[in-house]
């Protein structure tokens, strides 16, 4: 499925209007529908008013209660999936300030307890040294001192023992020469240090052997609620449980190919030694 950014916002309004119209055509009240789908009347009102976006399960319950025909169920289900997707382009982020994005990520981190990061091409901010963080924003015009500060502040979440983190880095992500040699060695040493935190499970996938799957993107899954997928021009945010489940399943596949614990630390240290030499 492809998404045009302007269509994502419009689909939320279309979904709300479609569900409201279906209920009225069926001759049912919001109270009746709320009772049939085990939701509050307030939630039904907010869904129909576009104040909240229902997930796919909610939409399916409503369609079933209203006895919608199969063809309509298919169309509305597609609309619901689109409505549960958000596109964040890098140009909008730059206009509004990169620190706003950091605040959004901090919000995801406050509200979640289990995190899964698949890192395809570079180190994520939670694992980055200050020099790596600064380098990651060096090519973006403007003063990003506040964004850098917030990015580094977010790393404190790794020391919250009520939260669990699993990071999987490809060899490319760990070894890509984003910094000069000694600074890259320091970054790899930092990964080793973070991997020793009791609530952090850090693994690496080395190039070599046979791996009959090919990752396409860096992605993060927060609990089983939200998946974010990064591209060079922005990020997709998925909230539909089927989309999120697909990324959870993909993550589990890569987890099976990754090395963790001392084996991962040995590889990271070896790569760091190569940068020092």
User: Using one digit for the tens of pLDDT, what is the confidence trace for 50-86?
Assistant: 888 888 888 889 999 999 888 888 888 888 878 877 7
pLDDT at 247 over 80: yes
Measured distance CA(137)–CA(143) in Å, rounded: 10
Contacts of residue 246, defined as CB under 8 A and 6 or more positions apart, other chains included, come to none
Length of the chain: 277
> For position 2, what pLDDT does the model report?
41
> For position 3, what pLDDT does the model report?
39
pLDDT at 4 over 70: no
First to last CA, the chain: 47
Output the CA–CA distances (angstroms, integers) from residue 236 to 78, 85, 172, 228, in the order listed: 17, 7, 23, 6
pLDDT above 70 covers what percent of the chain?
A: 96
Q: Which residue in 94, 128, 117 sits closest to 248, CA to CA? A: 117
Pick the more confident residue, 210 or 264: 264
Task: Kindly indicate the confidence band of residue 233, based on its pLDDT and cuts at 50, 70 and 90.
Answer: confident
- Region 110-135: what's the mean pLDDT? 95
> For position 24, what pLDDT does the model report?
93
Q: Which residue has the tokens 């799957």?
A: 213
Output the CA–CA distances (angstroms, integers) from residue 192 to 41, 130, 268, 275, in the order listed: 52, 16, 7, 15
Measured distance CA(173)–CA(254) in Å, rounded: 14
Task: Kindly indicate the confidence band of residue 160, based on its pLDDT and cuts at 50, 70 and 90.
Answer: very high
pLDDT at 94 over 80: no
pLDDT at 257 over 80: yes
Contact assessment for residue 120 and residue 174, using Cβ atoms and an 8 Å cutoff: no
Residue 221 CB neighbours (<10 A):
24
pLDDT above 90 covers what percent of the chain?
A: 58
- What Rg do the C-alpha atoms of the chain give, in angstroms? 22
Per-residue pLDDT of 16-58, as tens digits, reads 898 999 999 999 999 999 999 999 999 999 999 988 888 888 8
Contact assessment for residue 195 and residue 202, using Cβ atoms and an 8 Å cutoff: yes
> Measured in whole angstroms, how far is the alpha carbon of residue 218 from the centre of its chain?
9
Per-residue pLDDT of 125-157, as tens digits, reads 999 999 999 998 888 888 888 888 988 999 999
Q: Is 228 left (phi over 0), alpha (psi -120 to 50) or beta?
A: beta
Q: What is the pTM of this model?
A: 0.78
DSSP-based three-state secondary structure for 244 = helix
Quote the DSSP letter at residue 107: H
> For position 10, what pLDDT does the model report?
62
Task: Kindly indicate the confidence band of residue 9, based on its pLDDT and cuts at 50, 70 and 90.
Answer: very low
Q: 3-class secondary structure for 27-92?
A: CCCHHHHHHHHCCCHHHHHHHHCCCCCCCHHHHHHHHHHCCCCHHHHHHHHHHHHHHCEEEEEHHH
Task: Kindly indicate the confidence band of residue 6, based on its pLDDT and cuts at 50, 70 and 90.
Answer: very low
């Amino acid at each position: 499925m492809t998404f045009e950014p302007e269509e994502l916002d419009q689909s939320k309004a279309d979904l709300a209007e479609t569900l409201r119209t279906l209920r009225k055509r069926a001759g049912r009240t919001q109270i009746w529908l709320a009772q049939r789908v085990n939701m509050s009347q307030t939630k039904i009102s907010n869904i129909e008013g576009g104040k909240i976006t229902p997930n796919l399960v909610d939409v399916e319950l409503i369609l079933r209660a209203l006895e919608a025909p199969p063809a309509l169920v298919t169309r509305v289900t597609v609309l619901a999936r689109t409505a549960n997707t958000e596109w964040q382009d890098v140009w909008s982020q730059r206009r509004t300030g990169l620190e706003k994005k950091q605040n959004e990520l901090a919000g995801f981190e406050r509200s979640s307890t289990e995190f899964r990061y698949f890192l395809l091409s570079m180190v994520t901010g939670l694992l980055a040294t200050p020099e790596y963080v600064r380098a990651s924003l060096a090519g973006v015009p403007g003063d990003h001192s506040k964004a850098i500060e917030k990015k580094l502040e977010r790393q404190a979440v790794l020391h919250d023992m009520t939260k669990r983190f699993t990071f999987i880095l490809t060899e490319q992500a760990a070894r890509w020469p984003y910094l000069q040699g000694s600074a890259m060695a320091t970054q790899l040493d930092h990964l080793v240090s973070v991997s020793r935190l009791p609530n952090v499970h850090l693994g690496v996938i080395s190039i070599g052997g046979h791996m009959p799957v090919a990752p396409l993107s860096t992605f993060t899954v927060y609990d089983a609620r939200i998946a974010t997928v990064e591209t060079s021009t922005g990020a997709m945010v998925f909230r539909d449980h089927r989309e999120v489940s697909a990324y959870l399943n993909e993550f589990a596949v890569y987890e099976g190919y990754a090395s963790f614990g001392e084996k991962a630390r040995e590889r990271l240290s070896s790569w760091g030694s190569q940068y020092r030499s």
